[in-house]
Structure 1
Amino acid sequence: MARDDIQTGSFRRWMVRTLTLGLFLALAFLAGAAAMHLGMHAGDQQRIQDLQGRVAAQQAELTQAQTDLAAAHSQADVQVGTQRVLQEKLTDLQQQLGHVRDQLAFYEQLIPPGPAGALTVRAFDIQADADFLRYRVLLTRNAVPGADPFKGRMRFVAQGHVQGKAVKMDLNPPSASDQAGETDATPGAVDPLALVFDQFQRSTGILQIPAGMDIQSVRLEILEGDTIRATQDAALNRAATPAQEPQP
């Protein structure tokens, strides 16, 4: 009986040691598996964080690239618009230049082949208009390049009759009609008969008819100081339609 009890006690101790060892091994396996699982997920989390950082950086670069592209497009649109405006302005200026060159060529043909500085009255028309005379004058000058402009003035001398007597009288603009021998109504006023030009000059204006004078013709004198440089006579045009003058 005692021997059976000893054997039973030994078996129980062996079973306890075996179960304890088995439990210990099971716990050790579970601990290792848990550690391995946690380690694997920790690496995945780090990789996810790294990828998220790269995505954020690339998204920022993409946003900046889109901003730069939009700015480039806007600048290109502005440049295209500016170029269009400049091209239109250039075309307009070229057309204006062509017109001016045509006019210049016309007037250059009028310049006489005389000595340098020679001045000529190319057209002179004068017409009665109530108590006034309206005049149109075209002058040309053979000026060498770089020469100083011509500076002078026009003088109009009327030939006619006053109370049946032949007379000659200077004609002045209306503003000077009451000034004896003067052309300015006020001190310092601009002389409407003054001339300053290089190669050609077109002048138009109004003259006062002296009271009681029946004008037959008018002489135009171009003065440089006290020197008469050119003259031209014109009969008084009393027609309703003015005489035609050359047009470019």
Structure 2
Amino acid sequence: MAQSSVTRGGGFSTWLVRSLSRLVLLLVVFAIGALAMHFGMHAGDRETIQAWKSQAESLQAELMRAQADLAALRSEAAVQAGTQRVLQDRNTELQQELGRTRDQLAFYEQLIPPGPAGTVAVRAFDIQADGEFLRYRVLLTRNAAPQAEPFKGRMRFVANGRSQGKAVKIELNSPVVPAASETAASASGADPLALVFDQFQRSTGMLHRVPGLSIQSVRLEILEGDMVRASQDADLNRAVPDRAGVLP
């Protein structure tokens, strides 16, 4: 009887030990699992936060690029607007200049004399006393095609007056190159009365006054070689009208 009790007591102890061992093992496993879950959850949070940070940084960089592009577009738009205004102003100026040029062309086309091709005409001639000189202004036109050879000749001024009680005619000479001329004869040493032009010629210059000669009028002759192609008289003491502004 005693031995059986001992045997039962030893079996209980062994079961208790085993049960406690199992319980401890279960607690350890549970603790390990809890710790693993805890650290796993926190690790997931860190990964999520890191992903959000990366996404935020990417969006920030993209936003900065978009702002830079927007600033560049605004600057380019401002430059284009300024360039457009400049071009519009220049276009307006060119249109106005074209209008004035067309008006001048129409005016001068009216001055072209009728008649055979190559006809030269004196459209305006004015001469006035200026101290010891005579100042002249001349406008010539020629009926010629744009591709025709230029007219080449010279001007000759003949004074009609009285000297020592007698009527005389004296050719006047130019002491200087014309003050304002559209001829090609303004080079140094060239004849200041020479003419080279296509359709229009404006010329101004000075002539010597002859001592002792009382000039009543001056005759302008346009020469081509020795041939007089056109002529016109002007009174010295009476201004000649500018023919609607054709004289400078």
Cα offset, 1:118, TM superposition: 0.5
Contact 2:176–2:192 (8 Å) recurs in 1: no
Instruction: Find the aligned partners of 1:113 and 1:175 in 2 and give their Cα distance.
Output: 34
Secondary structure, counterpart of 1:175 in structure 2: coil
Query: Would the alpha carbon gap of residues 78 and 236 (structure 1) be closer, same or farther in structure 2, given more than 3 Å must change?
Result: same
> Alignment partner of 1:155: what SS?
strand
1:180 alignment partner in structure 2? none
- After superposition, the CA RMSD in angstroms is 2.6
* Per-residue deviation, 1:34: 1.1
1:234-245 correspondence to structure 2 within 5 Å: 234-237=234-237, 242-245=239-242
Q: 2:243 aligns with which of 219, 238, 246?
A: 246
SS at match of 2:93: helix
Alpha-carbon separation, structure 2, partners of 1:143 and 1:196: 13
Structure 1 equivalent of residue 76 of structure 2: 75
Q: 1:191 to 1:84 in 2, by over 3 A?
A: farther
Cα deviation, 1:55-99, whole Å, max 9, x if unaligned, reads: 322322222222222212211211111111111111111112111
- Identify the residue that residue 60 of structure 1 maps to in structure 2: 61
- Percent sequence identity over matched residues? 62
Deviations 1:139-196 (A, max 9, x none): 11111132233233222111223323333222223338xxxxxxx9xx9335432333
Distance 1:30 1:140 in 2: 120
Mark the CA change 1:65 to 1:196 in structure 2 (over 3 Å): closer, same or farther: farther
1:151 paired residue number: 152
The match for 1:215 is 215
Amino acid aligned to 1:65: A
Kept after mapping to 1: 8 A contact 2:221/2:231: yes
TM-score, normalising length from structure 1? 0.82
Paired letter, 2:152: K
Q: Deviations over 1:92-119 (max 9, x none)?
A: 1111211121122122112122011101
**1:93 maps to what in 2?**
94
Residue 44 of structure 1 deviates from its aligned partner by 2.9
Shift of 1:135: 1.4
Q: Is the 8 A contact 2:234 2:240 kept in 1?
A: no
**Amino acid of the structure 2 residue aligned with 1:151:** K
- 1-structure distance, mates of 2:217, 2:10: 167
Instruction: Tell me the SS of whatever aligns to 2:28.
Output: helix
Give the Cα separation in 1 of the matches to 2:141 and 2:168: 30
Q: Secondary structure at the match of 1:174?
A: coil
Equivalent in the alignment of 1:179: none
TM-score (ref. length: structure 2): 0.82
Name the SS for the 2:72 alignment partner.
helix
For the pair 1:24 / 2:25, whether they are aligned, the reply is yes
Q: After superposition, where does 1:192-211 map in structure 2 within 5 Å?
A: 192-211=192-211
Partner of 2:181: none
Residue identity in the other structure for 1:140: T
Are 2:142 and 1:104 aligned? no
Go from structure 1 to structure 2 and tell me whether the alpha carbon gap of 1:41 and 1:194 turns closer, same or farther (over 3 Å shift): farther
Change beyond 3 A, Cα 1:62–1:192: farther
**CA–CA distance in structure 1, aligned partners of residues 38 and 223 of structure 2:** 117
Long gaps (5+) in structure 2: 178-184
Q: Which amino acid aligns with 2:131?
A: A
Whichever residue aligns with residue 236 of structure 1, its letter is L
The 2-side partners of 1:234 and 1:203 are apart by 16
Q: Which residue of 2 aligns with 1:171?
A: 172
